[in-house]
Structure 1
Amino acid sequence: MDYEKNFEQWLQSDELSQDEKARLRALNEEEKKEMFFCPLQFGTAGMRGVLDLGTNRMNVFTVRRATKGLAEYIKTLGEEAMQRGVVISYDTRRFSSEFSIEVAKVLAQNNINAYLFDTVHPVPMCSFAIRRLNAIAGVMITASHNPKIYNGYKVYGEDGAQMSPESTDKVVEFIDKTPYFGICEAEVDLTADNIKGLDNQKVHPYITVIGKSVDDAYFDTISKLSLSPEAVEKYGKNVKIVYTPVHGSGYMPVTTILSRMGITVNVVKEQALPDTEFSTVRVPNPEEADTLRLGVELADKIGSDVVIGTDPDADRMGIAIRNDEGKFVLLNGNQIGVLLANYIFLRKKETGTLPKNGALVKTIVTTELARELATSYGVATFDVLTGFKFIGEKIKEWEQSGEYTYLFGFEESYGSLVGTHARDKDAVVASMTFAEMICYFDSVGKRIYDVLQDLYKEFGYYVEKARSITFGGLDGMQKMANIMSEIRSTAFDCIDGTKVLAQSDFVLGKKTYADGTVENIDLPKTNAFKLHLENGDWICVRPSGTEPKLKFYVATSKTSQSAATEKAEAYLAYMENLVK
């Protein structure tokens, strides 16, 4: 695409202010290329980018254009789909509320009903609302846990899961035909301030503001997922749990549900209120120690053993726990998922509610410890591609067929779903379940750290590690494509002394064994490549779906944690050297 032509079109537009045009004129040539060389990529996860002017950036013009494309797609589905409408939610990032209002106004101008949350609401409540209101789609304005300079636009289908590839392709066709300027919007005065507190109230013939009634339905639904009400009643008021929403959308729902259950929670005050700058952290990512630092300080002050953190859109949960030495350690997404799965299976077994056809769903880059654990409880395990929509698809499939009963699903990237009320990651219900789990194990004299160590002693020390390499600039995507091609063409025999038994190419949908035997992979095609090694070890490489990053995943299990960690690091070093 001609970036100079795009740049001039924007510079000449009457829809840009004089200040915005001055900003464009001040750009150097490299900045022009970065901001205008292509449209912001729109995929099954929507779009995400740096906040700024330009076709390759997040701004009101790219948001309107994407929404117009979505509107045109919905029109092809018929009048009923237009009446069912679109749920719109947003997190605490820069311009999130403004973008959500832009979405509502564009949809309304196209005679499509819009259901706009009255204030900041997280991903799981957006997914729940789509299902609750029988909407045809949903839009969530968020960039998850990216740095503050980013925002994004996630699109959901009628089941509350991320939109399918087939539907996304059709939306993209309409977006590609849509100009950046001249998009008409409904004439209605909407601001974050004048809609706050409204509930089920029409502010325009096609715009309804939603709030408390949907919130209450969500809380009523997830509270029924409680597995240990007796333990909560006995220990909930005295348990010491620290929680931080990291300035994001989790504050209201997490504190509300814990309060309703009767669990005392100590909130990190410095991170309780929305802050578009996320000023107390480097990045608002609860996977990182710096993000949970204030939580750990509060935990040390009050004598707590657990810190729970949620990211800005409250779809991912991070955890820090105190170890045997009295120091806080971060749990990774695999450890969190296994602890939650173990608790769910254990309590269902103890209460006689564990179904014979129970199923766990995980992704192809998630720990095999989950499979071992599930097998010990008689629970089946299913692997899906990365992306939570694939877990949602399994839930839908089994609801229709009755073949399996969904019990839990999670990704190594800190996302999980307890229950079937939503079709995306839910850190609110994860926080609720984790807090309840603490109460339960308190009742039997165990700390969470002890529970994790017991699992390792029973099944072996599983260590998984991941690393990303960023490829910036105009040729970043091409560099990643070249590397993936080279890896696919490499004949892997042995890695760090461990024999390679097979390799799975998810583009071809084929698993090829060392003896030449080939079997089909019963999963959709995707750009990922996995090596299967002796002793159950594995290595996987795939490009990120939302950022210019190449991701490496490695996994191993040994009789000691130190041996497993050493082996995992050796695998990572091998793969990093391979792409240098």
Structure 2
Amino acid sequence: MSYQSIYEAWLADPRLAEADRAELAAIAGDEKEKEYRFGGELAFGTAGMRGIIGCGMNMMNVYTVMRATQGLAEYIKTLPAEEQKKGVVISYDTRRNSRLFAEKAAGVLAKNKIKAYLFDDVHPVPMLSYAVRCLGTVAGIMITASHNPKEYNGYKVYGEDGAQMSPEATEIVVGFIEKITDYLSVTAEEDSPLIVPVPKEVDDTYIEALKKLTLSKEAVEKCGKDLKLVYTPVHGSGYVPVTRILGELGINVTVVKEQTTKDTEFSTVAVPNPEFKETLSMGIALADQIKADVVFGTDPDSDRLGVAVKNDQGEFVALSGNQVGILLLDYILTRLKEENALPANAAVVKSFVTTGMAKAICADFGVALFETPVGFKFIGEKIKEWEKDGSHTFVFGFEESCGYLRGTHARDKDAVVASMLCAEMVCYYTYIGKTVWGRLNEIYAKYGYVLDKNESIQYAGLNAMKEMNAVVDALKTVDVKAFGPFAVEAVRDYSADLRRTSDGRTEPLNIPRCNCVYYELAGGSFVCVRPSGTEPKLKIYYSVKAASEVAAEKALAEAKASVKQLLDSVKK
């Protein structure tokens, strides 16, 4: 059927809610909008669904949410009876319609005779992941679009281990979803006794699990009450758990009150992404006013943490996700070693687009480092693998996009535990007469300066993903010799599971496949190009190693110019 025919069918369908009918009627004369909404379907990928809120097959709405949940229910019904009885736990953030979508998902599960645990208020991603494990459910659902703009919402599915659902299970779920061609046919039973609240003890045991991960109790006791820490939840779900864990550890926290409200419009920021200094601007302004030491910010589903610290001139600098990651990595390994608690088989996991400096730090501590594709689910899978075979002990996992995890209580990035560790880290360096900024520069002095940056090229329309993949595929056909001053030493084609060196030797990568081209550059630098899995953006990552910041900035500019020239050539 054409998009026009599908649009007309939805508009005339008596099962469509009147508010949705009015929304569709309002775009009757807008062919471009109708094509966007009905010319394709909202994809359910390895990270679930994410899209703009609105009525249509390619949008986030009750119909696409219920259809996806019916597909999940069909999958659960193929499992053994004892697995089916475990139920599903559902959480949601502060976005538009998040609670509504969560209730609809619970109702669909109940209609399928599957128990649904529903949080009575917003809870972050890590607490949903923890709840799956704590309650022993067969799956979990998180309604969120993470750090995306206010117009978006999303739907993420978790497996029984608390990690995002595996690619194999996701493929089966997608198969069931695609069989449902009549979007409006899925029904829900929202007043079912099978829908029950999540026990309050889950919150308490989660906080207790985090307390067991502290590394500098004495430093916190000595310095925590005098620490001046400003925190903003950016209108999201991190407000309660972050302030609770810091408060119970005795750390002094001042919140940005204007950003503690559950504002679905995120009206105090342009985008609720703590990776950006602009998102932390109200926190930094308050910190300057009260002469605070550090600023934290979490995104709507509180899986990402942004941090700003004072430099040597007393000005606040927003650290990148890579910088926070190497600071935490260095801090965790240092404290474990000082306490003689570093396991002999300790291992760290990072995505392959995350800073190359992790390699030098882990090597210095004698700790194994593993790389995964982008997506914390792959870090969760490594934890699961090691729990089964005992080959390694997970001590830390991180991604450049401000995602961190210590502990195995959750299997997704956790801004609550990251907030605790970062606050503790500030106390520790204060206790020994240092600063976080000072320690970061000591790390650079010891291991060499690394400048990590990424940029995005925005795409639009129904063919955005196809166009981005075409660019990446085209890059694989070009023999690139250098980017700026850096010679290309090897190219990794993750879609083919192949690494090819400049002299023609090949070897398998042995990690899950994804459409990505990664250029290993002389001296330990890299450039990587991949399509985002959650947004219509082509992402380019740079990790530049140089003798100094000035030299790194110069080399980065030259590398960027080379990349632009390459991309322009393959787009023609």
TM over 0.5: yes
In the TM superposition, what is the alpha-carbon distance from 1:18 to its structure 2 partner?
3.6
TM-score (norm 2): 0.97
- Please give the per-residue CA displacement for 1:115-166, whole angstroms capped at 9, x wherever unaligned: 1111000000000000011110000000001000000001101101111111
1:47 matched residue in structure 2: 49
1:316 matched residue in structure 2: 304
In the TM superposition, what is the alpha-carbon distance from 1:579 to its structure 2 partner?
2.1
Whole-Å separation in 2 of the counterparts to 1:487 and 1:75? 43
Whole-Å separation in 2 of the counterparts to 1:415 and 1:130? 20
What is the identity, as a one-letter code, of the residue corresponding to 2:355?
A: T
1:357 matched residue in structure 2: 345
In the TM superposition, what is the alpha-carbon distance from 1:475 to its structure 2 partner?
2.8
Establish whether residue 417 from structure 1 lines up as the match of residue 420 from structure 2.
no
1:180 matched residue in structure 2: 183
Contact 1:118/1:211 (CA < 8 Å) preserved in 2?
no
Establish whether residue 9 from structure 1 lines up as the match of residue 9 from structure 2.
yes
> Residue 277 of structure 2: SS of its match in structure 1?
coil
Contact 1:127/1:422 (CA < 8 Å) preserved in 2?
yes
| Aligned with 1:519 (options 498, 503, 507) | 507
What is the identity, as a one-letter code, of the residue corresponding to 1:59?
A: N
> Residue 41 of structure 1: SS of its match in structure 2?
coil
| Aligned with 1:86 (options 85, 88, 99) | 88
The within-5 A match list for 1:428-443 is: 428-443=416-431
Establish whether residue 262 from structure 1 lines up as the match of residue 250 from structure 2.
yes
> Residue 237 of structure 1: SS of its match in structure 2?
helix
- Please give the per-residue CA displacement for 1:429-448, whole angstroms capped at 9, x wherever unaligned: 00000001111111001111
2:469 matched residue in structure 1: 481
Whole-Å separation in 2 of the counterparts to 1:211 and 1:262? 26
Whole-Å separation in 2 of the counterparts to 1:481 and 1:230? 51
In the TM superposition, what is the alpha-carbon distance from 1:4 to its structure 2 partner?
1.8
1:452 matched residue in structure 2: 440
What is the identity, as a one-letter code, of the residue corresponding to 2:3?
A: Y
1:278 matched residue in structure 2: 266
> Residue 49 of structure 1: SS of its match in structure 2?
strand
In the TM superposition, what is the alpha-carbon distance from 1:211 to its structure 2 partner?
4.4
Whole-Å separation in 2 of the counterparts to 1:2 and 1:168? 28
1:159 matched residue in structure 2: 161
Whole-Å separation in 1 of the counterparts to 2:101 and 2:6? 22
> Residue 489 of structure 2: SS of its match in structure 1?
strand
Whole-Å separation in 2 of the counterparts to 1:477 and 1:333? 26
Whole-Å separation in 2 of the counterparts to 1:340 and 1:167? 33
Whole-Å separation in 2 of the counterparts to 1:488 and 1:205? 54
- Please give the per-residue CA displacement for 1:181-217, whole angstroms capped at 9, x wherever unaligned: 12221151xxxxxxxxxxxxxxx43111014210001
Cα RMSD, aligned residues only: 1.1
- Please give the per-residue CA displacement for 1:216-256, whole angstroms capped at 9, x wherever unaligned: 01001111101111111111111111111000000000000
> Residue 163 of structure 2: SS of its match in structure 1?
coil
Establish whether residue 29 from structure 1 lines up as the match of residue 61 from structure 2.
no
Whole-Å separation in 2 of the counterparts to 1:301 and 1:9? 58
Contact 1:287/1:318 (CA < 8 Å) preserved in 2?
yes
Equivalent residues, number = 565
**Bigger CA drift: 402-411 or 178-187?**
178-187
CA distance change for structure 1 residues 187 and 290 in 2, over 3 Å: closer, same or farther?
Answer: closer
Whole-Å separation in 1 of the counterparts to 2:105 and 2:25? 28
Establish whether residue 340 from structure 1 lines up as the match of residue 343 from structure 2.
no
Whole-Å separation in 1 of the counterparts to 2:496 and 2:186? 41
- Please give the per-residue CA displacement for 1:510-545, whole angstroms capped at 9, x wherever unaligned: 111111111111112110111111111111111111
> Residue 410 of structure 1: SS of its match in structure 2?
strand
Whole-Å separation in 1 of the counterparts to 2:19 and 2:507? 60
1:393 matched residue in structure 2: 381
In the TM superposition, what is the alpha-carbon distance from 1:355 to its structure 2 partner?
1.3
Contact 2:494/2:517 (CA < 8 Å) preserved in 1?
yes
**Bigger CA drift: 513-522 or 425-434?**
513-522
In the TM superposition, what is the alpha-carbon distance from 1:404 to its structure 2 partner?
1.0
Contact 2:294/2:308 (CA < 8 Å) preserved in 1?
yes
Whole-Å separation in 2 of the counterparts to 1:284 and 1:495? 33
Whole-Å separation in 2 of the counterparts to 1:65 and 1:184? 9
> Residue 181 of structure 1: SS of its match in structure 2?
helix
Contact 1:552/1:572 (CA < 8 Å) preserved in 2?
no
In the TM superposition, what is the alpha-carbon distance from 1:493 to its structure 2 partner?
1.1
Whole-Å separation in 2 of the counterparts to 1:71 and 1:19? 27
1:196 matched residue in structure 2: none
% identical aligned pairs? 53
What is the identity, as a one-letter code, of the residue corresponding to 2:411?
A: R
> Residue 121 of structure 1: SS of its match in structure 2?
coil
Whole-Å separation in 2 of the counterparts to 1:550 and 1:457? 33
2:393 matched residue in structure 1: 405
> Residue 439 of structure 2: SS of its match in structure 1?
helix
In the TM superposition, what is the alpha-carbon distance from 1:476 to its structure 2 partner?
2.1
Contact 2:16/2:184 (CA < 8 Å) preserved in 1?
no
In the TM superposition, what is the alpha-carbon distance from 1:20 to its structure 2 partner?
2.6
2:78 matched residue in structure 1: 76
2:20 matched residue in structure 1: 20
Contact 2:356/2:525 (CA < 8 Å) preserved in 1?
no
Contact 2:465/2:531 (CA < 8 Å) preserved in 1?
no
- Please give the per-residue CA displacement for 1:376-399, whole angstroms capped at 9, x wherever unaligned: 111111111111111111111111
**Bigger CA drift: 472-481 or 44-53?**
472-481
Whole-Å separation in 2 of the counterparts to 1:407 and 1:145? 26
**Bigger CA drift: 395-404 or 95-104?**
395-404
| Aligned with 2:120 (options 99, 115, 118) | 118
List runs of 5+ in structure 1 lacking aligned partners.
Answer: 189-203
List runs of 5+ in structure 2 lacking aligned partners.
Answer: none
**Bigger CA drift: 399-408 or 84-93?**
399-408
Whole-Å separation in 1 of the counterparts to 2:256 and 2:155? 28
What is the identity, as a one-letter code, of the residue corresponding to 1:214?
A: V
Contact 1:467/1:572 (CA < 8 Å) preserved in 2?
no
- Please give the per-residue CA displacement for 1:31-65, whole angstroms capped at 9, x wherever unaligned: 00001111101011110000000000001111111
Whole-Å separation in 2 of the counterparts to 1:569 and 1:74? 51
